[in-house]
Structure formats: structure tokens, C-alpha cells
Amino acid sequence: MSKNIFDFISSFGIMLIGVCLLFFGSLSYPHVSQKVSFLPKSKPRIMIVGGDEQLAVLPISHPNVPLKKDQAVVDFPLSSTAVILMDDKTDTILFEKNADVVRPLASITKLMSVLVLLDLNPDWSKVVEITPEVYDNYSHFVNIGEKFTMGDLWNVALIGSSNTAINALVSGSGIKREHFITKMNEKAQDLRLRSLRFVEPTGIDERDVGTARDVARLLKYALASDKIFNTLQISEYYAQPFGQKPRRIWTTDWLLTKWVPNKFGDLTVAGKTGFIENSKYNFAVRIQNSDKRAIRTVVLGADTMEARFSEARDLATWAFDHYAWPGDSGYDKLAQ
């Protein structure tokens, strides 16, 4: 009996729900619409010229690189085997000759050596003795048994390009020579200077090699250090061996001393030389003109000591004469 009552109530409830759904579904509701407002479209900026409205002209995007002003070519002789001329700021190639030929670097190697020294952060006041193990027969500024500070040896190594000074710096760096050379090669790879290979830190070995292109990049990395840049702008230095008179050392950069005539101003030239028999005469230099435009020139394998400087000078002068930089008169027209 109770089951029948439960079934009846359940059936009645379901029927009641269905009736309610039919009732409410038949009701109609007023349609409510909402107007969507859109922000007004922005018009291009305009210029008022003579009372007329004209569409604004968007600024022209100019490349931020030097541009050739004319059809001039390098028509003077170059004895150097490999050459590259590069804008210092953008690395734009202004001229090149055999720039990817691997050549012995000679003392340009010292640029990598001093970069590694800076990474090691040595004590520049530390005193180092010149021993037979570090002495190089080609060095004329330091002698066996003499003592110098690390800071003094730094200047002798870069300004006078002393192999003995570099060897002494390596010995005073706090790491073994083999480890130091490994760091030189590791840094070359870290800087993506793929052609550079080093077997010792002075450049006396012909197996210290690289291309003119990578040397130009190495020079840029090196001169980014104020310590290296400032040192390479010193034309004359007095080293101070302990217990002896100061010893004058001239830079090996003849553009800096003006021994090769040039019109570059003071503090606008910073470079590194190199020479061994198999490399002939090398030179990597940054030169800035009176308009603050700077280029890097690398010449590898020049025939004579003077030629490496005169060829670097002539290439830099040619670039400044025949290229325009952003901000120069006529540059915008060239960029159109």
C-alpha cells in the first residue's frame, strides 16, 4: 500500500514540474539591447602647411652605419698580405683584403694575454724578479735579476712590446703558464674569435695565429678596457727597476710618436704592433678623427716596419675622406 502511495506522489511531482516548465517557457520578455560604443579611430598625425591639412609623413629609418660618399676605391699600393678596415662603432667593413686568411700574429698576441691578466685581477703592486725562465733574448728593457712591480711590467709589455715583461706577468699571475695559455684559447672561443690560436703568451711563436677580421674584433674587446686603452696611448714611459735609475721606453707605435707623419690628433691613436720573421710587420690600430669618427685598421704581413704604419694611416685617411657617418653633412641624402 505504502509503495503505491509513493509511486503516485512521485508521478504527480514529475507531472507538476513539467507543467511549470511549459508555463514559464511560453512567457515572452522584452528584448533588451545594449549599444556597444567604439573608440574613434585615430587618424595619422597631420601637419598644417599653408592652412591646408596634409597627412603626416612618417620619419625615414636610416641605417646607423657609415655610407660610401662616392665610387672611390683604394688605388694606392698595399704590401700587406691581409688587411681590414672597420667602423669602430658598428663593425661595418669599409675595406678588406684577404681578411680571412690565417696569419702569424706576433706581438698582437699580447692583446689576448693582457685580457686574460685582467680577468685574473692580479696585485699590480706585487714585485716580480726577472729570472732566466722568463727572459727573452729580444727584450732590451729588462734584465735578468732585476725586479719590477706587476704594474711596471704591464706598461713595459704593452708600450715596449717586451716578451720578457709578458712572461714575467704570467709568472706573477698566480696560475701556471700552461693554464694561462689554456685561458687565452678559451677566451678566444668565448669571444667567438674562432681563428685565434695560441701556444704561448708573447707572440714569438709562429703558431700564435688568427685572421685580420678576428684581430680587428680582438682589438675592440681589448680597447673596451680603460687600462689597456690608456696604456696603448702612452708614447713614452719610464720603467723603474728596483734599486736602479728609471729607464725610458718608447712605444712601438710610430703613428703615436709621429715618427711616421700623420695628421691624427693626440689621444686619437691606440694600437699594437707585432713582428717575427714569418709574420713580417703587423699592426692593429684604432684611429679617431676630429669629428669623433673612429675606425679600426689591421694590416698583417707588411713588407717593412714603416709600411705597416703608412698603410694603416693611408687606409684610415681614405675611409674618413670617402665615407659619411650618421650626423655628417649629406648623410641623410645618401641613406634615402
Residue 93 has pLDDT above 60, yes or no: yes
pLDDT band of 56, cuts 50, 70, 90: very low
Looking at the domain assignment, is residue 271 inside a domain? Answer: yes
Looking at the domain assignment, is residue 243 inside a domain? Answer: yes
Note the pLDDT of residue 38.
39
All cell numbers assigned to 199 = 701556444
Note the pLDDT of residue 139.
73
Question: Each residue of 184-237: pLDDT tens digit?
Answer: 999 999 999 999 999 999 999 999 999 999 999 999 999 999 999 999 999 999
Strand-pairing partners, residue 147, are 129
Domain with residue 325: its CATH number is 3.40.710.10
pLDDT band of 159, cuts 50, 70, 90: very high
Looking at the domain assignment, is residue 42 inside a domain? Answer: no
**Mean pLDDT computed over every residue of the chain:** 87
Note the pLDDT of residue 18.
53
Q: How many helices (H) and strands (E) does the chain have?
A: 10, 15
Residue 42 has pLDDT above 90, yes or no: no
Looking at the domain assignment, is residue 266 inside a domain? Answer: yes
Q: Give me the number of domains the chain comprises.
A: 1
pLDDT band of 138, cuts 50, 70, 90: confident
Residue 14 has pLDDT above 60, yes or no: no
Looking at the domain assignment, is residue 14 inside a domain? Answer: no
Q: Give dist(CA 225, CA 228) in Å, integer.
A: 5
Which 3 state secondary structure label does DSSP give 85? strand
Range of the domain at 85: 67-335
Residue 40 has pLDDT above 90, yes or no: no
Residue 1 has pLDDT above 90, yes or no: no
pLDDT top residue among 17 and 88: 88
All cell numbers assigned to 281 = 710587420
Looking at the domain assignment, is residue 129 inside a domain? Answer: yes
Residue 58 has pLDDT above 70, yes or no: no
Please return the burial class of 162, using the count of CB atoms within 10 Å of its CB with bins 0-12, 13-18 and 19+. buried
Average pLDDT of span 47-51: 39
Note the pLDDT of residue 302.
99
Looking at the domain assignment, is residue 47 inside a domain? Answer: no
pLDDT band of 12, cuts 50, 70, 90: low
Note the pLDDT of residue 250.
97
Decide if 74 contacts 318 (C-beta within 8 A): yes
Average pLDDT of span 106-131: 98
pLDDT band of 28, cuts 50, 70, 90: very low
Residue 324 has pLDDT above 50, yes or no: yes
Looking at the domain assignment, is residue 58 inside a domain? Answer: no
Residue 37 has pLDDT above 50, yes or no: no
Note the pLDDT of residue 67.
95
Sign of the dihedral through C-alpha 189, 195, 198, 201? negative
Least confident of 39-53, 83-97, 160-174, 192-206: 39-53
Distances (CA, A) of 148 to 113, 119, 120: 19, 21, 19
Note the pLDDT of residue 266.
81
pLDDT band of 55, cuts 50, 70, 90: very low
* Side-chain half-sphere CA neighbours of 126 within 13 A: 15
Q: Give dist(CA 100, CA 217) in Å, integer.
A: 13
Residue 62 has pLDDT above 60, yes or no: no
Question: Each residue of 228-287: pLDDT tens digit?
Answer: 999 999 999 999 999 999 999 999 999 999 999 999 988 899 999 999 999 999 999 999
Decide if 108 contacts 274 (C-beta within 8 A): yes
Average pLDDT of span 125-134: 97
Query: How far is CA 217 from its chain centroid?
Result: 6
